[in-house]
Chains A and B, each alone.
Chain A
Amino acid sequence: AQTVTQSQPEMSVQEAETVTLSCTYDTSESNYYLFWYKQPPSRQMILVIRQEAYKQQNATENRFSVNFQKAAKSFSLKISDSQLGDTAMYFCAFIHAYSGAGSYQLTFGKGTKLSVIP
């Protein structure tokens, strides 16, 4: 079974600065997808960014980018020019690319609480 580990329960960053959130995962599969989800105080889960394991190029989405190291099974999220609205829980998640059972369940890490300080 796959596991996702986020080793930083809480982090803080000054507004306009850059912060990196860490995530490692464990799987025996070679084809999978990784995600970062944001959960603001409203508790809704919002997709931030997605990475396909077969792609070597790191995904970017405006101020958000990832550092995907497949051999190390590492998937960190970098937030540039941090804004107050980035304050949230951030969850790293994993999904296998193929499921014969018709289920593509997400496996989540425990989350990192990010606070952006004005």
Chain B
Amino acid sequence: EPEVTQTPSHQVTQMGQEVILRCVPISNHLYFYWYRQILGQKVEFLVSFYNNEISEKSEIFDDQFSVERPDGSNFTLKIRSTKLEDSAMYFCASSEAGITEAFFGQGTRLTVV
């Protein structure tokens, strides 16, 4: 069964450093998303990506964040100058069409120290 794959599963980084979280969406999917879940809290939307560009972003997704789909298969989230409050689980998701089921990856646990 096709699945969304995220790497790494756990990333520890020093405050102020840049991190890149990687995702391989399901191959025939057209919509891509990043969500964040701070420990013990609800899952929050960060950004959606469609037709090779950002289609929508939340208030959380400020200039510190960027996304790329560099090679037609990977979908990355870059976080610059990480802060302690960026520590969270980051989920990548993809869907074939907008309203069809969004498949989630297993998440990347980011810990900023």
Interface residues of A (CB under 8 A from B): 33, 35, 37, 42-47, 50, 91, 93, 95, 97, 99, 101-111
Between-chain CB contacts (< 8 Å), 24 pairs: A33-B99, A35-B101, A37-B104, A43-B37, A43-B89, A43-B106, A43-B107, A43-B109, A44-B104, A45-B43, A50-B101, A95-B99, A101-B55, A102-B48, A103-B48, A104-B31, A104-B48, A104-B99, A105-B33, A105-B45, A106-B43, A106-B45, A108-B42, A110-B42
A97 to B97, CA, bound (A): 11
Query: Chain A nearest CB: distance from B102 CB in Å?
Result: 6
* A37 surroundings in chain B (CB, below 8 A): 104
Q: Is the CB of B55 within 8 A of A44?
A: no
Please judge, given known A-B contacts A44-B104, A44-B106, A44-B107, whether A103 and B42 are in contact too, CB under 8 Å.
no
Q: Taking CB as reference atom, which chain B residue is nearest A104?
A: B98
- Please encode chain B, from 31 to 61, with 1 for each CB lying within 8 Å of some chain A CB and 0 for all others: 1010101000111110010110001101000
A103 to B48, CA, bound (A): 6
A42 to B109, CA, bound (A): 11
Secondary structure dominating the interface of B:
strand
A73 to B93, CA, bound (A): 26
Q: Is the CB of B102 within 8 A of A106?
A: yes
* B75 surroundings in chain A (CB, below 8 A): none
* B107 surroundings in chain A (CB, below 8 A): 43-45
* A111 surroundings in chain B (CB, below 8 A): 42
Q: In this complex, which of B56, B99, B109 has the most chain A Cβ atoms within 10 angstroms of its Cβ?
A: B99
* B44 surroundings in chain A (CB, below 8 A): 108
Query: Chain B nearest CB: distance from A6 CB in Å?
Result: 9
Q: In this complex, which of A95, A106, A107 has the most chain B Cβ atoms within 10 angstroms of its Cβ?
A: A106
Query: Chain B nearest CB: distance from A115 CB in Å?
Result: 16
* B99 surroundings in chain A (CB, below 8 A): 33, 95, 97, 104
* A108 surroundings in chain B (CB, below 8 A): 42-44
A109 to B44, CA, bound (A): 9
Q: Is the CB of A45 within 8 A of B33?
A: no
Q: Taking CB as reference atom, which chain B residue is nearest A111?
A: B42
Q: Is the CB of B42 within 8 A of A91?
A: yes
